[in-house]
Amino acid sequence: MMLNLLVAVCVGYVFFLFGIAFLAERAAKRGRGRWLRSSFVYTLSLSVYCTAWTFYGAVGYAARSGLEYLTIYLGPSLVMFGWWWILRKLVRVGRSQRVTSIADLLSSRFGKSNLLAVIVTILAVVGTTPYIALQLQSVTLSFDVFASFEDTTPFVSDQAHSALWLAAGLAVFTIVFGTRNLDVNERHHGVVMAIAVEALVKLFALIAVGAFVVWGISGGVWETLDRIDASRVAELPMNGGRWTAITFISAAAFVCLPRMFQVLVVENEHETHLRTASWAFPAYVLLMSLFVVPIAVIGLEILPVGSNPDLFVLSLPLHVGNEGLAILSFLGGFSSATSMVIVASIALSTMVSNHIVMPLWLRFGAGGASVSGDVRKVILFSRRASIAAVLFLGYSYFVLSGGGSALAAIGLVSFTGVVQVLPALLGGLFWRGATRLGAISGVLVGFALWLYTLFLPSLGDTALFSNDFLQAGPWGISWLRPQGLFGLSSMDPLVHGIFWSLSLNTIGFVFVSLVTFPSPIERLQGAQFVNVFDHSSSAKSWSGRVAPSEDLMVMTQRILGPKDAQALFLAQAQKQGVSGYLPEPTPEFLGVLERELAGSVGAATAHAMIGQIVGGMSVSVRDLMAVADETAQMMEYSNRLEAQQTELTRTARKLREANEKLTRVSLQKDAFLSQISHELRTPMTSILAFAEILRDGGAGPHEAGTRYATIIHEESLRLTRLLDDLLDLSVLENGQVNLNTSGVHLSKLVKRSVATVLAGAATPSLHVDLMVSESLPQVETDADRLGQVFINLVANARKYCDATTPRLKIVSSRAGNFIYLDFIDNGSGVPKDAQDMIFEKFSRIGQNKAGGAGLGLAICREIMTRLGGDISYLPGQGGGAFRVVLPVELAL
Amino acid sequence: MTPPKGQIFLERSNYKMRRIVDAMRILPFVGVFLWVIPLIWGSDAANHTTSSKMIYIFAVWILLVAVNAMLSYLLNHANGGDDIGPDV
Amino acid sequence: MSKTVLLIEDEPNIIEAISFILSRDGWTVVTHSNGHDANQVIQAKSPDLVILDVMLPGKSGFDILRDLRLEHSSDALPVLMLTARGQAKDREMAETLGVNRFMTKPFSNSDVREAVRDLVQQ
């Protein structure tokens, strides 16, 4: 009788929820739903945090552990009080990037990496499935409570069946209202409204039971407080470590849980709603937790020993015969369970569909976004299938785990699991240096440790994790025990698991981030996320090269539907000043389009789809620079500074070089003038002296006079020669020389030159070995100038070769287009430190012997340069050696 | 002349708004501080009964909610409820 | 007993010219034509006057003069420097080193004769 009523109420309540959701959707569609978007609806929707686990379980928790249950609410309250720090930024980022889930947010932040999204999705599914099972269990248990108070056979034959019915019903509701539309812009008004109503129901139910207990059973506030202090709940100590750890983990879970992210960020209508929620939500959970201890204490006191404290909220009213209140209480629990399951399955199905199904479909499906069939249908189907799959997974877990007490312990374990994304999330929001690999490493490390230290042990005595295994550790290695890693065995197992998984997660994340280098798109997204308040525009990462707008249109229509797609394209075209429906594929337009698509299919998928059409997934460094983003500007600025710096350094070096050269030239000029002065004055001195002697007539004998006149004559010739050389050099250096080229036979020219030099000497003071090949080709060159060089070299050998029997060897050779003529004597040669000096003007080998002014070799070098060849000193030939290089063809 | 990005002198309302924001930022730390105190009391059951701890925790909770609600109200009225500008 | 003039010069024609005009005036002229052993020659010959060129093979006239003035025994020995390097800084250098007279080539014979006479009779 009672149970039938219960089922009727239950079905009626579900229809009521359907009705609310339907009306809300309709009102939103007609644009009349302003009240739907109020900040109070937002606040109430956040109450999906309070699941059946907290509705029923908090009392059981308090009965077992005293005030510790409060931590589950204190954590989220602190997060809401501190909304300015994290939630504000999270919501802003979520809105500006059109984020669809927490996996999408992380993927988007870390370079639109789908791998990261897949990992987070798997983590979320693994962490959430037991939790969904827990909700199913709570509802079936509550049926059982009613059944036990009434001796009729239950309406549903066993737990598994009722859970299946429940899962199926929730799947239908979620599919109908959760996947009606695709664009997250419009959000799930129906669902949110239903959740808000459920929030009121569960709050009202719990307060009603609490008020009944305090004033109806206990007899007033003071009596209740006395009873609390007298009960065994009061004797339970407060464990500081657990207290802190659970407060922290529930605070973190409040942000990281997929369903919380869904209502906090994805369904958020306006940032100001957060401001209201920052005090209204803590007030809500305060009320939710207010009567928990009284219910627990009174329950322990008056209910028979052995009653399940997790169900006191139900069994207490039933025990005292208040069936109406019991049904209300049941509805509260039912609301808690269903709202959690609905939102969680929407959040998970979005992740599974966007990050696992869609990428697979894109890769293996009909071959690309622009050719295949209706993407919209595929997405909707994949979402619906995912919802069904998630619920089925929860149901299976419930059946397989046997629905025992093991399930009750899963709440905090589940929290710790999803919290493994926290380091990557906070790092992504506040630290530009966080990289994709860092995030992946951190999450994987945390996930693995969570599985090992918390999740697998929580399943109880299983084949994989037997009690022996837990006690002894793998292979008997005690410091690897799942609940006593590295010897930390005295810690509470939960605190232990939280400690190791999160600390190593964070270390892995930070360390890998520090040693890896992010890709351009990661850096761009990093800047967009971290500095979201500086520029709330989103990533303009597409370089619109050859993107065919029409293909984009075709694709967009399939995802957003033709009407919305056309409206979007038209608006964008008008914005660009283009008539018609096809805007230019500018980076701005592609950015807007990508964000719109991301609202439906997630950032990574949207990026991939546009990438397929636009071609080229990568963002070049140039594109990055072009984006008016702080990083780019900073980089550009510092690059410019660096360039300027290099330029300045270069200029300074040039100036310094020029200055050195000038100084050198000035010194050379100085030395040159001094040299010329000396060379001119010396013969002049002799001339003047003897001329005076002759003039004064004091020369004495006639022969002396003749001799003096001869000296004057010689010195005059010397002067003339010097002046000739200077003139010659000057002409050569200034390039004013005229070359008289003709075919020259080199061996003949060498022979003639040698003869010229040796002609003057009475006895041949130098023996010359001519080894110049007769077969050398004729060279087109200036015979007189080349002869001048040869004469100079031979004369030098005659003058300076200091061997007792001086010999000069003239050898020819050929290398490619060049002919070498080596003049090698058997003297001591040119000292090494003088070798690079001898071609300078006025440099002399040895000191001031009679003869030239030291201009000979300088002139030779000038001539050879003019003739397109070269002359150089050839060291290591066992004597003075000069090499004359001549091109076969004279290139003029 | 455009004003520099980080203005030194702000309008009175702007100044007031920033101090409200400062107060909001400090609030969670105040909460942590106040809620840690019962842990320091320890299990000295004679002076600190469970009911008194519970009352203390709830009192702090109510206080924080009230202060936050007041700050939100002030913030709404300080700048018309819209954007608050860059995070400083 | 005629006074001795030591002429250190490497240019043969100039040696001949100066020897001729000073011998004619009654000086005994001793010549030497390279730089590196010039100081020893001065020691050995102990002349009444040294005529010194600057650009000498082996050791420059400046170096010879400096080393000469480092030996205190030769403080009183007058030195006449003759050089083709007639720049002001060369003259300054010579005067710093303690030259008695500095003349630039080319010179007039009468100037040299006069200078020699002055320096020896001091």
Given a contact cutoff of 8 angstroms between Cβ atoms, the answer to whether A794 and A884 are in contact is no
Q: What is the pLDDT of residues C1-23, one digit of tens each?
A: 578 999 999 888 889 889 988 88
Q: What is the pLDDT of residues C86-109, one digit of tens each?
A: 677 788 888 888 888 888 888 888
Q: How many CB atoms lie within 10 A of CB A377?
A: 10
Lookup: tokens for A513: 């981030």
Residues from chain C contacting residue A687 (CB–CB below 8 Å): 106
With touching defined as 3+ CB pairs under 8 A, do chains C and B touch? no
Kindly tell me the number of DSSP H helices and DSSP E strands found in chain B: 2, 0
Q: How many domains does chain A have?
A: 5
Q: Inform me whether the pLDDT recorded for A532 exceeds 90.
A: no
Residue where one domain finishes, among candidates A483, A508, A534? A534
At A625 the pLDDT is 36
**Range A730-735 average pLDDT:** 78
Given a contact cutoff of 8 angstroms between Cβ atoms, the answer to whether A52 and A134 are in contact is yes
Provide the pLDDT confidence category of residue A228 given band limits of 50, 70 and 90.
confident
Higher pLDDT, A501 or A843: A501
**Range A45-67 average pLDDT:** 86
Residues from chain A contacting residue B21 (CB–CB below 8 Å): 84
Q: Where are the domains of chain C?
A: 4-121
Q: How many domains does chain B have?
A: 1
Q: Inform me whether the pLDDT recorded for A286 exceeds 90.
A: yes
Q: What is the pLDDT of residues A585-611, one digit of tens each?
A: 676 777 788 777 777 666 666 776 676
- The answer to whether position B23 is within a domain reads yes
- Distance between CA A187 and CA A735 in Å, rounded? 86
- The answer to whether position A838 is within a domain reads yes
- The answer to whether position A647 is within a domain reads no
Whether A489 and A477 share a structural domain: yes
**Range A8-20 average pLDDT:** 85
Residues from chain B contacting residue A290 (CB–CB below 8 Å): 58
- The answer to whether position B2 is within a domain reads no
Q: Inform me whether the pLDDT recorded for A615 exceeds 60.
A: no
**Range A132-139 average pLDDT:** 85
Higher pLDDT, A822 or A371: A822
Q: Which chains touch C (3 or more CB pairs under 8 A)?
A: A
Interface of A with B (CB under 8 A): 66-67, 70, 74, 77-79, 81-85, 89, 225-226, 228-229, 233-235, 237-238, 240, 243-244, 247, 271-272, 275-276, 278-280, 282-283, 286, 290, 293, 533-534
Residue where one domain finishes, among candidates A534, A549, A566? A534
Residue C6's SS3 state is strand
Alpha carbons within 13 angstroms on the beta-carbon side of residue A593 total 37
Q: What is the pLDDT of residues A230-257, one digit of tens each?
A: 887 777 777 778 888 889 999 999 999 9
Q: Inform me whether the pLDDT recorded for A97 exceeds 60.
A: yes
At A622 the pLDDT is 36
Provide the pLDDT confidence category of residue A422 given band limits of 50, 70 and 90.
very high
Name the residue facing A81 among B31, B82, B87 (closest C-beta): B31
Residues from chain C contacting residue A842 (CB–CB below 8 Å): none
Percent of chain A at pLDDT above 70?
Answer: 81
Name which of A673, A680, A686 to mutate to probe chain C: the one with the most chain C Cβ atoms within 10 A of its Cβ: A686
Q: Is C36 on the interface with A (CB under 8 A)?
A: no
Whether A51 and A66 share a structural domain: yes
Lookup: tokens for A702: 């006639």
Helices A493-515 + A436-450 axis angle, to 10: 160
Provide the pLDDT confidence category of residue A657 given band limits of 50, 70 and 90.
confident
Whether A429 and A387 share a structural domain: no
Q: Is C113 on the interface with A (CB under 8 A)?
A: no
Mean pLDDT for all residues in chain A: 79
Q: Inform me whether the pLDDT recorded for A34 exceeds 80.
A: no
Residue A892 to chain C, least CA–CA distance (Å):
42
With touching defined as 3+ CB pairs under 8 A, do chains B and A touch? yes
Whether A371 and A274 share a structural domain: yes
- Distance between CA A676 and CA A674 in Å, rounded? 6
Percent of chain A at pLDDT above 90?
Answer: 11
Whether B75 and A275 lie within 8 Å, measured CB to CB = yes
For the ranges A539-543, B30-34, C51-55, which has the lowest average pLDDT?
Answer: A539-543
In A, minimum Cα distance to B66 occurs at A279
Residue A803 DSSP label:
S
Q: Inform me whether the pLDDT recorded for A479 exceeds 80.
A: no
Q: List b or e across C21-47, with b for residues whose CB sees 16 or more CB atoms inside 10 angstroms.
A: bbeeeebebbbbbbbeebbebbeeeeb
Whether C87 and A674 lie within 8 Å, measured CB to CB = yes
Whether A29 and A91 share a structural domain: yes
Name the residue facing A279 among B38, B43, B72 (closest C-beta): B72
Residues from chain C contacting residue A696 (CB–CB below 8 Å): 109
Number of residues in chain C:
122
- The answer to whether position B3 is within a domain reads no
Provide the pLDDT confidence category of residue B46 given band limits of 50, 70 and 90.
low
**Range A841-867 average pLDDT:** 71
Which helix (H) or strand (E) is A640 found in, with range? helix A630-696
Residue A272 to chain B, least CA–CA distance (Å):
7
Whether A237 and B27 lie within 8 Å, measured CB to CB = no
Could you list the residue range(s) of the whole structural domain that residue B62 is in? Answer: 12-79
Whether C109 and A711 lie within 8 Å, measured CB to CB = no
- The answer to whether position A802 is within a domain reads yes
Whether A286 and A380 share a structural domain: yes
At C2 the pLDDT is 78
Q: List b or e across A59-82, with b for residues whose CB sees 16 or more CB atoms inside 10 angstroms.
A: bbbbbebbbbbbbbbbbbbbbbbb
Lookup: tokens for A576: 């660009």
At A154 the pLDDT is 46
Whether A55 and A77 share a structural domain: yes
At A421 the pLDDT is 93
Could you list the residue range(s) of the whole structural domain that residue A565 is in? Answer: 537-628
For the ranges A185-194, A694-703, A838-847, which has the lowest average pLDDT?
Answer: A838-847
- The answer to whether position B85 is within a domain reads no
Residue A260 to chain B, least CA–CA distance (Å):
20
At A631 the pLDDT is 41
Whether B76 and A272 lie within 8 Å, measured CB to CB = yes
Name the residue facing A690 among C17, C87, C105 (closest C-beta): C17
Residues from chain C contacting residue A690 (CB–CB below 8 Å): 13, 17
Note the Cα B80 to chain centre separation in Å.
20
Peptide bond into C106 cis (omega under 30): yes
Whether A688 and C24 lie within 8 Å, measured CB to CB = no
Name the residue facing A225 among B51, B57, B62 (closest C-beta): B51
Name the residue facing A678 among C13, C16, C84 (closest C-beta): C84
At A110 the pLDDT is 87
In B, minimum Cα distance to A221 occurs at B51
Number of residues in chain B:
88
Q: How many beta-carbon contacts under 8 Å exist across A and C?
A: 71
Whether A688 and C107 lie within 8 Å, measured CB to CB = yes
Residues from chain B contacting residue A280 (CB–CB below 8 Å): 69
Q: What is the pLDDT of residues A105-118, one digit of tens each?
A: 898 888 878 889 99
Q: What ipTM does the predicted assembly reach? A: 0.88
The Cα-based distances of A156 to A1, A4, A162, A308, A337 in angstroms read: 14, 10, 6, 21, 18
At A795 the pLDDT is 85
**Range A856-868 average pLDDT:** 86
Provide the pLDDT confidence category of residue A844 given band limits of 50, 70 and 90.
low
Residues from chain A contacting residue B24 (CB–CB below 8 Å): 83-84, 278
- The answer to whether position A557 is within a domain reads yes
Provide the pLDDT confidence category of residue A439 given band limits of 50, 70 and 90.
very high
Whether A48 and A195 share a structural domain: yes
Whether A133 and A266 share a structural domain: yes
Bin B80: left if φ > 0, else alpha if -120 < ψ < 50, else beta: left
Whether A681 and C104 lie within 8 Å, measured CB to CB = yes
Give the CATH architecture of domain C4-121: 3-Layer(aba) Sandwich (3.40)
Residues from chain A contacting residue C14 (CB–CB below 8 Å): 682, 685-686, 689
Whether A325 and A421 share a structural domain: no
Alpha carbons within 13 angstroms on the beta-carbon side of residue C71 total 13
Residue B2 DSSP label:
P
